[in-house]
Amino acid sequence: MSSENGRSGGAEGAVPEQLALIRETVRQARTPKAKPRTWRGAALAEGLPVARVVVDKGVLHLDRYFDYAVPKELDEAAQPGVRVRVRFGAGARNVRGGRREGGGLIDGFIVERCAESDYAGPLAALAQVVSPEPVLDEELLGLARAVADRYAGSLADVLQLAVPPRHARAESRPSPDPAPPPPAPDPATWQRYRRGAEFVASLAAGGAPRAVWTALPGPQWADEIALAVQATLASGRGALVVVPAGRPAARVDAALRERLGAGRHALLTADAGQERRYREWLAVRRGAVHAVVGTRAAMFAPVRDLGLVVVWDDGDSSHADDNAPFPQVREVLELRAARDKCAFLLGSWSCTVEAAQLVESGWAAPLVADREQVRGAAPLVRTVGDGDLARDGAARAARLPTLAWQAAREGLKHGPVLVQVPRRGYVPRLACERCREPARCRHCAGPLEARDDGGLSCAWCGRGEASWHCQECGGFRLRAQVVGARRTAEELGRAFPAVPVRTSGREQVLDTVGAAPALVVSTPGAEPVAEGGYAAALLLDGWAMLGRPDLRAGEDALRRWIGAAALVRDQGAGGTVVVVAEPTLRPVQALVRWDPVGHAVRELAERAELGFPPVSRMAAVTGPRDALTEFLRGVELPPDAEILGPVPTAVTEPGRPRRPGDAPPGGEHAERALVRVPPGSGAALARALKTAQAARMARGAGQQAVVRVRIDPADIG
């Protein structure tokens, strides 16, 4: 090795080069074939001396392949799909006829081996094959490419989400032998749904049905998913299930173990630790395991011969990745179903507008239970409106209307009672207590928010408001702030001194509670499952859930209410739900009738009328005013595109932790424009924005202000 290096000749950088090389060699000592060197003058592979490489650089103007020469020694290992390290950067440029080594070593994947390159200049050599394990096959590459295009992002960014980081030890261990397909199941509880048995039979027969499944309340859903997976495996194909969080993943995991036995499926969750995660992922990729359940990153799992993709509870915000380009599970699985011609199952107790659209467009069939089934399985839902609450003096003081009080007391005779309270910090738009006019900043008309110290400040400009009064009616009282789970628990503990009170929230999530009477105070999404179901549930502070300035506020509130109410016994068994919210509002009525699909269909019609997503496709473009204006002038939008704004955007959004991607870049003067296109022009919109962005980056050389593009922005309320 030293003699080979000695040949690298050129005086510049020879010594640091060798040092770097030694470090690399030590680091990679476990993989004998991976020897990073300069390969100067080394013989090239005879058959296909060119490797086409996707380099791990997320920037858009580098979103293409780069060709490298394959040294003879790496010929065998440098197969398509393997991880490599290559020199990349301006340093590796031609100097007076020769080629100087320079530029950093960066990671990449070989996508193809070719006989020749269409690049005119001299090729640099692959520095190193990190491992001969192929991790990126054509199918995953194609999917990543499609996702990148869909979201106007780069292939490298998507691959970072799709291919987990390498762990050498996990790689060195063999995966188990693949198991033979299980027998096809009988439809069991799928018979509760119209055409449910037919759906399962189609999976078992190798078909590719697509369905939006409105699950009946109760704990059956996990086994119903496991059954669909079993049916698919029985047809000799693989299956992939994506759920929003670790708890539902554990439920499906248990159901799969029950049906298939141990070791027949992989569990891919973010909290598993790198080695384990990579080991499970490799077992899938190597074809040792054909079924996968996991959280959002699992949406890319390289399941062989994919026959079915499943997403559970697609309205949950955890299904949106928080790394660029922010792909969403439902959308990615739609792409996979279309690309792989496999079955698609979107299941939820509730129904998103997007799910309703899949049905309305005819892309997926509805999988629903008959009305009587639904009525039989759901609890009795009653409402307490604001008016009732206001008249109910004592209740108002205690924040617990008489009806809710009674339901709790009655329920506690028979079992646990769930109390759902919105998260503190789940800041709603504050409004006048008398006339409900939203409270606005007197300087910029932004929405006022309650600070932790009890004061008010503007969510847009951040100015404090010391003496608010309503511009409409002169009132000076705002609606009460949301009381957190802990304080609610204390209050209830005093009200029901004989009953144990337990809380489940963000910091400490309870998984299950027993069948004994207890008050269980929980924030949405953290509700424990009760053994035998809750006797009753109280859904408090509905106004806060509904009052958020967000297009999805109604749908989200309904989803969270249904998520809690689905854990309550059916009405035949005395299950009762009391929701404290205005009974005339659409989501409240949908809960009372247990009709999430009807709600979504009406929302969809309204969105179509207003030209809102998902009926139109939107992109948000955010940046400092001047840069934004310049960007919008430069971009060649499809002819049917429409630009809304730009308008000033919030500097920060207090009450919610900043997530990457929603924080507007450019500080104080950031503005946001929305670009809207009719259905069918989404791809053209993404392409146009990406082209403009790439040109900008290439031209701007860093010092230009950042303009951020986001397809399908979440917060366009």
Partner DNA sequence: AGCACGCCGACT
Partner DNA sequence: GTCGGCGTGCTC
Nearer Cβ to DNA, position 60 or 345? Answer: 60
Q: Min. distance of Cβ 695 from DNA in angstroms?
A: 11
59 binds DNA (CB under 7 A): yes
Q: Min. distance of Cβ 72 from DNA in angstroms?
A: 17
| Binding-site member from 66, 221, 344, 405 for DNA (CB under 7 A) | 66
Q: Is 470 annotated as a binding residue?
A: yes
Nearer Cβ to DNA, position 124 or 284? Answer: 124
With 0-12 / 13-18 / 19 or more C-beta atoms within 10 angstroms meaning exposed / middle / buried, residue 258 is exposed
Nearer Cβ to DNA, position 57 or 440? Answer: 57
Nearer Cβ to DNA, position 69 or 544? Answer: 69
Q: Min. distance of Cβ 707 from DNA in angstroms?
A: 10
Nearer Cβ to DNA, position 462 or 700? Answer: 700
Count of Cβ atoms closer than 10 Å to residue 479 Cβ = 19
Q: Min. distance of Cβ 277 from DNA in angstroms?
A: 27
- Binding residues among 221-280 for DNA as defined by CB under 7 A: none
**Given the structure tokens 């840069």, which residue do they identify?**
627
Longest dimension (CA), the chain: 91
| Binding-site member from 68, 278, 405, 631 for DNA (CB under 7 A) | 68
Amino acid 274 reads Q
Nearer Cβ to DNA, position 13 or 638? Answer: 13
E-only strand ranges, 374-518: 380-384, 417-420, 448-450, 456-458, 464-465, 501-504, 512-513
Return d(Cα 462, Cα 460) in angstroms, integer: 6
206 binds DNA (CB under 7 A): no
- Binding residues among 681-700 for DNA as defined by CB under 7 A: 697-698, 700
Contact of 53 with 78, CB cutoff 8 Å: no
Q: Min. distance of Cβ 503 from DNA in angstroms?
A: 44
Amino acid 590 reads A
Q: Is 342 annotated as a binding residue?
A: no
**Which residues are within 8 A (CB) of 371 and not within 5 positions of it... i.e. 6 or more apart?**
none
Q: Tell me the window of 63-71, 339-347, 406-414, 543-551 that interacts with DNA (CB under 7 A).
A: 63-71
Amino acid 571 reads Q
Return d(Cα 74, Cα 32) in angstroms, integer: 11
Q: Tell me the window of 67-75, 293-301, 441-449, 468-476 that interacts with DNA (CB under 7 A).
A: 67-75
Count of Cβ atoms closer than 10 Å to residue 178 Cβ = 14
Q: Tell me the window of 332-340, 487-495, 570-578, 702-710 that interacts with DNA (CB under 7 A).
A: 702-710
Q: Min. distance of Cβ 302 from DNA in angstroms?
A: 27
Helix axes 221-234, 196-204, angle to 10 degrees: 30
- Per rule CB under 7 A, count of chain residues that contact DNA: 33
Q: Min. distance of Cβ 125 from DNA in angstroms?
A: 8
Alpha helices in 413-550 (DSSP H): 485-495, 542-546
Q: Tell me the window of 66-74, 197-205, 345-353, 535-543 that interacts with DNA (CB under 7 A).
A: 66-74
Nearer Cβ to DNA, position 117 or 576? Answer: 117
Q: Min. distance of Cβ 694 from DNA in angstroms?
A: 10
Mark residues 14-53: x for contact with DNA by CB under 7 A, - for none. ----------------------------------------
Return d(Cα 502, Cα 416) in angstroms, integer: 10
Nearer Cβ to DNA, position 600 or 689? Answer: 689
Q: Min. distance of Cβ 706 from DNA in angstroms?
A: 7
| Binding-site member from 24, 67, 316, 653 for DNA (CB under 7 A) | 67
Strand pairing class (291-294; 265-268): parallel
3-state secondary structure of 131: strand
Q: Tell me the window of 62-70, 195-203, 364-372, 598-606 that interacts with DNA (CB under 7 A).
A: 62-70
Q: Min. distance of Cβ 554 from DNA in angstroms?
A: 39
Mark residues 641-680: x for contact with DNA by CB under 7 A, - for none. ----------------------------------------
Nearer Cβ to DNA, position 95 or 445? Answer: 95
Nearer Cβ to DNA, position 10 or 462? Answer: 10
| Binding-site member from 21, 45, 54, 62 for DNA (CB under 7 A) | 62
Nearer Cβ to DNA, position 75 or 653? Answer: 75
Q: Is 351 annotated as a binding residue?
A: no
Write out the DSSP string of 526-568.
-PPEETT-BSEEEE--HHHHHTSSSTTHHHHHHHHHHHHHTTB
Nearer Cβ to DNA, position 14 or 601? Answer: 14
Q: Min. distance of Cβ 437 from DNA in angstroms?
A: 44
Q: How far are the Cα atoms of 18, 35, 66, 673 from residue 10, in angstroms, in the given order?
A: 12, 20, 25, 52
Determine if the peptide bond prior to 325 is cis (ω within 30°).
Answer: yes
Long-range contacts at 644-647 (CB < 8 A, ≥ 24 apart): 644/673, 644/674, 644/675, 644/676, 645/671, 645/672, 645/673, 645/674, 646/621, 646/671, 646/672, 646/673, 647/671, 647/672, 647/673
CB burial of 495-505 (b: ≥16 within 10 Å; e: otherwise) equals ebeebebebbb
Q: Is 114 annotated as a binding residue?
A: no
Q: Which among 692, 686, 617, 713 is positioned nearest to 149, based on CA atoms?
A: 686
- Binding residues among 69-128 for DNA as defined by CB under 7 A: 69, 86-93, 95, 100, 102-104, 117, 119, 121, 123-124
Return d(Cα 296, Cα 318) in angstroms, integer: 7
Return d(Cα 171, Cα 466) in angstroms, integer: 61
CB burial of 139-160 (b: ≥16 within 10 Å; e: otherwise) equals bbbebbbbbbbbbbbbbbbbbb
3-state secondary structure of 594: coil
Nearer Cβ to DNA, position 103 or 648? Answer: 103
Provide the CA 70 distance to its chain's centre, in angstroms: 38
Nearer Cβ to DNA, position 350 or 693? Answer: 693
Return d(Cα 224, Cα 308) in angstroms, integer: 14
Q: Min. distance of Cβ 110 from DNA in angstroms?
A: 13
- Binding residues among 575-634 for DNA as defined by CB under 7 A: none
Q: Min. distance of Cβ 59 from DNA in angstroms?
A: 6
Q: Min. distance of Cβ 483 from DNA in angstroms?
A: 45
The partner residues of 382 in beta bridges, in order of sequence, read 578
Return d(Cα 374, Cα 594) in angstroms, integer: 8
155 binds DNA (CB under 7 A): no
**Known binding-site residue numbers:** 432, 435, 441, 444, 458, 461, 470, 473
**Known binding-site residue numbers for Zn(2+):** 432, 435, 441, 444, 458, 461, 470, 473
Would you tell me which residues interact with DNA (CB under 7 A)?
A: 57, 59, 61-62, 66-69, 86-93, 95, 100, 102-104, 117, 119, 121, 123-124, 697-698, 700-703, 706
